[in-house]
Chain A
Amino acid sequence: MTKADYEASATLHGANFLGTPQQVVDKILFQHDIFQHDRFLIQFSVGTMPHEKIMRSIELYGTEVAPAVREEVARRKAAKRGSSPGPTGRAGRISSG
Chain B
Amino acid sequence: MELGIYTFAERTTDPNSGDTVTAQQRLSDLIEEIELADRLGLDVFGVGEHHRPDFVVSAPAIVLAAAAARTRNIRLTSAVNVISSDDPVRVFQDFATVDLLSGGRAEIMAGRGSFIESFPLFGYRLEDYDSLFEEKLLMLLQLRESEKITWRGNHRPAIEGRGVYPRPLQQPLPIWVAVGGNPRSAVRAGALGLPMALAIIGGMPERFASFARLHRDAARQAGWDSVPALSINSHGFIAGSARERSTTPFPTLPTR
Q: Do A and B come from one complex?
A: yes
Query: Known: A19-B239, A97-B174, A97-B175. Is A61-B5 also a contact (CB below 8 A)?
Result: yes
Size bracket, chain A contacts? 35 or more
A65 touches B238 (CB 8 A): yes
| Closest chain A residue, CB of each to CB of B144 | A97
Show 10 A/B contacts (Cβ-Cβ < 8 Å), sorted by A.
A13-B204, A19-B242, A24-B236, A31-B205, A32-B1, A38-B195, A47-B12, A90-B227, A97-B174, A97-B176
Cβ of A37 within 8 Å of any chain B Cβ, yes or no, is yes
Interface residue from B40, B43, B201, B212 paired with A15 (Cβ < 8 Å): B201
Cβ of A53 within 8 Å of any chain B Cβ, yes or no, is yes
Cβ of A78 within 8 Å of any chain B Cβ, yes or no, is no
Q: Which residues of A contact B14 (CB under 8 A)?
A: 48, 50
B250 touches A18 (CB 8 A): yes
Interface residue from B2, B21, B245 paired with A40 (Cβ < 8 Å): B2
Interface residues of chain A, those whose CB is within 8 Å of chain B, are 1, 6, 9, 13-21, 24, 28, 31-32, 34-51, 53-63, 65-66, 69-70, 73, 89-90, 93-97
Known contacts A15-B205, A96-B175; 10 additional CB pairs below 8 A are A14-B204, A17-B236, A19-B238, A37-B229, A42-B6, A45-B9, A93-B226, A94-B229, A95-B227, A97-B174
User: Of residues B39, B228, B241, which shows the largest number of chain A Cβ atoms within 10 Å of its Cβ?
Assistant: B228
Query: With contacts defined as CB atoms under 8 Å apart, how many contacts are there between chain A and chain B in the complex?
Result: 232
| Closest chain A residue, CB of each to CB of B43 | A39
In the complex, A34→B232 CA distance in Å? 11
Question: A28 → chain B, closest Cβ, in Å?
Answer: 8
Interface residues of chain B, those whose CB is within 8 Å of chain A, are 1-10, 12-15, 21, 29, 32-33, 36-37, 39-44, 46, 79, 107, 170, 172-176, 192-195, 197-198, 200-206, 208-209, 212, 224, 226-242, 245, 248, 250-253
Question: A2 → chain B, closest Cβ, in Å?
Answer: 10
Q: Which residues of A contact B227 (CB under 8 A)?
A: 89-90, 93, 95
Question: B103 → chain A, closest Cβ, in Å?
Answer: 16
Interface residue from A19, A39, A73 paired with B229 (Cβ < 8 Å): A39
Q: Which residues of B contact A20 (CB under 8 A)?
A: 238-242, 245
Query: Known: A39-B2, A63-B40. Is A21-B238 also a contact (CB below 8 A)?
Result: yes
B193 touches A41 (CB 8 A): no
In the complex, A62→B37 CA distance in Å? 7
B238 touches A47 (CB 8 A): no
